[in-house]
Amino acid sequence: MGDQPAKRIDAHFVAAGKYHDIDYARLEILKLLADHPEIRTTVACDYADTARLDACRFLITYTCDLMPSPQEAKAIRAWLEAGGKWLALHGTNSILVFTESGLVDAPDDRPDVMEMLGTQFKAHPPIGPFTVEVVNHNHELTRGIEDFEVVDELYLSNTSAPIDILCQTKFSGEATGFVDAEWNDAVVPIVYTRDIGEGRIVYNALGHCRGHYDLPGMQDFYPHPERCAWNYEVYYDMLRRGIAWAMREES
């Protein structure tokens, strides 16, 4: 008797937001999901369809400056507490507000979401190289991966709840253009997990991308597209591992 066919796994993917090539990130993630024909994915540009989560094993988000409403956040948390899995990428934890002086602020006005995610984006220095240190070599998301250097947008964040850091870096310097500009020997979570009831969040802060047309009203044509971590096989390896983790039904 041959192997039984894989059972269908439902997933929901929210891909939307500002200042990023969301189309590129959406397509790359969908291609990785398509490697698993048993995954059936719905795609949304906001968090409104929380009822869909009840049928889903996992949620993926690639966003920037996009928050669920308080009611939506409450529904997501209840789904997590019941055993849902959330693979949160790059700017999922970001709120951005331009001040009158032209600086970018990251206000603390959604503690419900940031406590759930475990971190809140505060600033980033200019895109450049940094070393990602693997601090837990025994986790399925990092086993066999050594420290690596990547050119990316380093998301500096405040920790808002207990998290289990798998990869990190350190940063001292200036995040030019942000209200929270000065950082001194800050430990920066890059990949971490956070347990919520019976569920879990895996957050991977890498993965900036920007195309020619992603700064409307600021710059009509951005001359140098950015792919950052998407240029590195180790990032795709981590994404594949994240999807494999999300697919698995926990006993």
DSSP 8-state code for residue 180: S
- Average model confidence (pLDDT) across the chain: 97
* Maximum Cα–Cα distance across the chain: 70
The DSSP call for residue 119 is: E
pLDDT band of 2, cuts 50, 70, 90 = low
pLDDT tens string 106-130: 999 999 999 999 999 999 999 999 9
Question: Which structural domains are found in the chain, ordered by start?
Answer: 9-247 (3.40.50.880)
Mean pLDDT within 76-81: 98
Give the pLDDT confidence score for residue 223 in this predicted structure: 97
Q: In 3-state terms, what secondary structure has residue 233?
A: helix
Residues 167-190: what's their mean pLDDT? Answer: 98
| Euclidean distance between CA atoms 51 and 37, whole angstroms | 23
* Residue partners of 94: CB distance under 8 A and separation at least 6: 17, 63, 64, 65, 106, 120, 121, 155
In Å, how far are 126, 155, 189 from 175, measured between CA atoms? Answer: 7, 10, 16
pLDDT tens for 132-176 read: 999 999 999 999 999 999 999 999 999 999 999 999 999 999 999
Question: What mean pLDDT do residues 217-227 have?
Answer: 96
List, in sequence order, the alpha helices (H) in the chain: 22-34, 50-53, 70-81, 111-117, 233-247
- Pull the structure tokens for residue 236: 């795709």
- Is the pLDDT at 3 greater than 80? The verdict is no
pLDDT of the residue at 250:
83
Whole-angstrom distance, CA of residue 103 vs CA of residue 178 = 5
pTM (predicted TM-score): 0.97
> For the chain, how many residues are written?
251
**What's the pLDDT tens digit per position in 26-42?**
999 999 999 999 999 99
In sequence order, which residues have a C-beta less than 8 Å from that of residue 161 and are 6 or more positions away? 114, 115, 116, 117, 118, 194
DSSP 69-105: -HHHHHHHHHHHHTT-EEEEEGGGG---EE-TTS-EE
Per the CB < 8 A criterion, the answer to whether 83 and 199 are in contact is: yes
Q: Is the pLDDT of residue 1 over 60?
A: no
% of the chain residues with pLDDT over 90: 97
